[in-house]
Amino acid sequence: MYTQALNNLEAVTDVEDAGRNAAFQARVDNEYKIEPNDWMPEGYRKTLVRQISQHAHSEIVGMLPEGNWITRAPTLKRKAALLAKVQDEGGHGLYLYSAAETLGASREELNEQLLSGKAKYSSIFNYPTLTWADIGAIGWLVDGAAIMNQIPLCRCSFGPYSRAMIRICKEESFHQRQGYELLLTMCKSSQEQKDMVQDALNRWWWPSLMMFGPSDKDSQHSAQSMAWKIKRFSNDELRQKFVDATVPQAHYLGLTIPDEDLKFDEETGHWEYGEIDWSEFARVLKGDGPCNRQRMKARRKAHEDGAWVREAALAHAEKKKARKAQKAA
Amino acid sequence: MNDRLFAYTLRLADDAAILGQRLGEWCGHAPTLEEDIGLANIALDHIGQARALYTYAGEVEGKGRDEDQLCFLRKEREFSNCLLVEQPNGDFAETIARQFFFSAFMLPFWEKMKASRDETLAAIAAKAEKEAAYHLRHSAEWVIRLGDGTRESHERMQDAIELLWPFTGELFEADDTVKALVAEGIAVDPATMRDVWGETVKKVLGQATLEMPEEGWAQTGGRSGIHSEHFGHLLTAMQYMQRAYPGLKW
């Protein structure tokens, strides 16, 4: 019912006028939350649907590289923690799809966009998890980068998204600490394990920096998103925050960041990092990463293999409804 | 050391660990997002039970083996889980049938185990009972949905029931270990579970418009370490890290 009521809003937005737009912007400027039934510019809705669904898809595709290690986790405690983490990611996907539904985008439609390749997801999940250390590296770096991106989203102007983010950030922050603790345990245990962790850092460092998106000078959507308070910090600002937080953590583990140009600038108090290989970013985003095809194939297969189950659940629900109606008659 | 109590606790631990391992294989590949979360959750419950049971088995044994040594460093023939839990996931109907048969047994089992004279097993049972109740509800609802869904789902569910049926008899077996512990008021006599299990299965299959298979030959061997061919593959994945990097902390 809720979604249906919201669908009516589509017609209203056709007659949007400057006055309403100004009132909307004033609400945003005053830090009021925009709720699903409030009037909003069509561009705002579209931007949010795109961003929220990309985020949801990232959670779902992200279950694959981590799920790859559930059956091989080295201890029962780690297996339980990984299962719980991947389950959390699924839960995040679920809240985010629900937040997108409040904007009139159905889950089926969004899923279709993912499976057809029309919708994007975070490029980081197109990299493979080769060793157990990768599980720690994902927690530490990937969830760490996600937190940097997402903490400001807790104050996003759209109510359902900001509220979903509060819970998600709490869980991500737990995952990040769990990942770091996993790596700390390995680094303390033996040189062989420490080497495995260094190797994971070498492979995940640059893709993690790419998670913040193109550099500010090349970012298309930023200015408007900032004005709408969907975004609060620029890509480069968030990336710098991440580097500043993460480099000392790597040093504490006794690891080397795989960047020869990395140096601490005493004046600014920031870690300066080397040039990101944007051609790699563009290539992986376009579909030519190490696992893009495999990730999509796995998602499509799960969808196709599960079709008969979803059909059966629907058919059963229909039968039940019909029986109930018959009884009532 | 109480050999019998060790062997018995280890069986229960192996059942939980192996089923948790199988369910974990689903993660990211389930028919719906809700089921991805649901199956991971059920896997997590079983891994949690396995941890408590292995830890206790290690204490009973008194040789300093912890949960991970018992789970990751024993060999095929040393595992004493029932054959049902190690069966491959198959399609969603097979996974659901396996869970349903198992949970329909484990719910009344843990209920009775709460009265065990062994305080640790009784405490584990108190927690596991609540989890089993949820697992049974979840799997029974799916048996009904799939049985009374479409023609295809009905056929798949019936096939899954037939396929796994021969592995259900083993659940009710009692060897000397079980009999002795039942006499001491520690173990639950699985034979006493037969009626309630049969009633649950009959009721749910009836609602699902599925046919109850006839009693008949039951495959057995798991409790004495005679497993299925695919069991070694399961252990290969599960034990890989501990075998490849022995003696390290993770």
Is A70–B92 a contact, with Cβ atoms under 8 angstroms apart?
no
* Token representation of residue A300: 């499509």
The pLDDT, as a whole number, for residue A5 is: 32
* A14 has a pLDDT exceeding 70: no
Pairs of CB atoms within 8 A across A/B = 141
> Would you state the pLDDT for residue A4?
31
Task: Name the residue facing A90 among B40, B48, B242 (closest C-beta).
Answer: B40
- Topology of the domain comprising B3-244: Ferritin (1.20.1260)
- Give tens-digit pLDDT for A262-300: 999 999 999 999 999 999 999 999 999 999 999 999 999
Residue A315 to chain B, least CA–CA distance (Å): 5
CA distance B157 to chain A (A): 10
Confidence bin at A233 (pLDDT 50/70/90) = very high
CB contact under 8 A, A70 and B25: yes
Q: Which residue, among A206, A213, A211, A187, has the nearest Cα to A133 in the 3D structure?
A: A187
Q: Check A305 against B91: CB less than 8 A apart.
A: yes
Q: Which of B18, B53, B153, B230 to mutate to test the interface with A (most CBs of A within 10 A)?
A: B153
In angstroms, the separation between the Cα of residue B184 and the nearest Cα of chain A is 31
Neighboring chain B residues of A60 at a CB cutoff of 8 Å: 33
Across chain A, where does the E strand assignment appear? 263-265, 270-272
Closest Cα in chain A, distance from residue B77 (Å):
20
Please answer whether residues B135 and B98 qualify as being in contact, where contact means their C-beta atoms are separated by less than 8 angstroms: no
Chain A positions touching B71 (Cβ under 8 A) are 76
At A16 the pLDDT is: 53
Indicate yes or no: CB of B33 within 8 angstroms of CB of A97. yes
Closest-CA residue of A relative to B152 is: A308
With a cut of 70, say whether residue A28 has pLDDT above it: yes
- Give the model's pLDDT for residue B158: 98
How far from the centroid of its chain's Cα atoms is residue A255's Cα? 27
Does B162 lie at the interface with A, CB-CB under 8 angstroms? no
CB contact under 8 A, A189 and B250: yes
Asked if the C-beta of B163 comes within 8 angstroms of chain A's C-beta atoms, the answer is no
Q: What is the mean pLDDT of chain A?
A: 92
Between helix B3-24 and helix B176-183 the angle, nearest 10°, is 110
A90 and A154 Cβ atoms separated by less than 8 Å: no
Q: Any idea how long chain A is?
A: 329
Rounded distance between C-alpha atoms, residue A47 and residue A50, angstroms:
5
Q: What angle do CA B189, B192, B194 make, to 5 degrees?
A: 125
**Cα A288 from Cα A281, distance rounded (Å):** 10
Question: A191-210 and A143-150 are packed helices; what angle lies between their axes, rounded to 10 degrees?
Answer: 30
The string of DSSP letters for B186-242 reads SS--GGGGHHHHHHHHHHHHHHTT-PPPPP------GGGT---TTHHHHHHHHHHHH
Distance from CA of A197 to the nearest CA of B (A): 12
pLDDT of the residue at A35: 96
Give the confidence band of A222 by pLDDT, cuts at 50, 70, 90.
confident
Beta bridge partners of A272: A263
Within an 8 Å CB–CB cutoff, is residue B208 touching chain A? no
Mean pLDDT in residue range A303-315: 98
Q: Which of A106, A309, A310, A311 to mutate to test the interface with B (most CBs of B within 10 A)?
A: A309
Q: Do B37 and A90 touch (CB under 8 A)?
A: yes
Helix (H), strand (E) at residue A233: none
The mean pLDDT of B39-51, rounded to a whole number, is 98
| Chain B residues close to A78, C-beta within 8 Å | 250
CB contact under 8 A, B150 and A315: yes
Whether A249 shows a pLDDT value over 80: the answer reads yes
Separation CA A201–CA B34 (nearest Å): 33
A86-123 burial: b if 16+ Cβ within 10 Å, else e: bbbbbbbbbbbbebbbbbbbebeebbebbbeeebbbbb
| B243 lies within 8 A of chain A by CB | no
- From first CA to last CA, the distance across chain A in angstroms is 24
Residues of A with CB below 8 A from B29's CB? Answer: 67, 298, 301-302, 305
Q: What residues of chain B, 41 to 70, have a C-beta less than 8 Å from chain A?
A: 41, 43-44, 47-48, 50-51, 54, 67-68
ipTM: 0.97
How many other CB atoms are there within 10 angstroms of residue A65's CB atom?
Answer: 24
Please tell me which residue of chain A has the smallest CA distance to B16. A76
* The dihedral sign for the CA sequence A258, A263, A264, A265: negative
Task: Tell me the per-residue pLDDT of B207-248, one tens digit each, with 9 for 90 and over.
Answer: 999 999 998 899 999 999 999 999 999 999 999 999 999 999
Best to test chain B binding among A70, A115, A191 (most B CBs inside 10 Å): A70
Q: What per-residue confidence (pLDDT) applies to A15?
A: 54
Residue A6: the pLDDT is: 36
- Residue A74's nearest CA partner among A202, A173, A180, A185 is A185
Give percent above pLDDT 90 in chain B.
99
Residue A44: CB atoms within 10 Å: 24
Rounded (10°) CA dihedral A261, A267, A269, A275:
-30
Nearest by Cα to A313 from B184, B46, B94, B152: B152
Q: Answer whether A302's CB lies under 8 Å from B30's CB.
A: yes
pLDDT for the residue numbered A8? 37
Q: CA A279 to CA A58: how far, in whole Å?
A: 21
pLDDT (average), residues B86-103: 98
Domain ranges in chain B?
3-244
Cα B25 off chain centre by: 15
Which residue from A79, A190, A312 is facing B145, i.e. has the nearest CB? A312
Residues in A touching B43 (Cβ below 8 Å): 83
pLDDT tens per residue, range B161-198: 999 999 999 999 999 999 999 999 999 999 999 999 99
The answer to whether residue A10 scores a pLDDT higher than 80 is no
Smallest CA–CA distance, residue A196 to chain B, in Å, is 12
Beta bridge partners, A34, equal A158
Residues of chain A with C-beta less than 8 angstroms from the C-beta of B86: none
Q: Which two tokens stand for residue A281?
A: 């970013």
pLDDT at B49: 98
pLDDT bucket at A217, cuts 50 / 70 / 90: confident
When the pLDDT of each residue in chain B is averaged and rounded to a whole number, the result is: 97
Mean pLDDT of A70-99: 96
For residue A218, what pLDDT is reported? 84
Q: What are residue A271's phi and psi, to 5 degrees? A: -85, 120
CA–CA distance, B137 with B100 (Å, rounded to integer): 9
Mean pLDDT of A215-236: 86
Mean pLDDT value of segment B5-18: 98
Nearest CA in chain B to A135: B250
Q: Provide, as residue numbers in chain B, all residues whose Cβ is less than 8 Å from the Cβ of A190.
A: 248
**A63, A97, A306 member nearest B92 (Cβ):** A306
Of residues A136 and A11, more confidently modeled: A136
- The pTM of this model reads 0.94
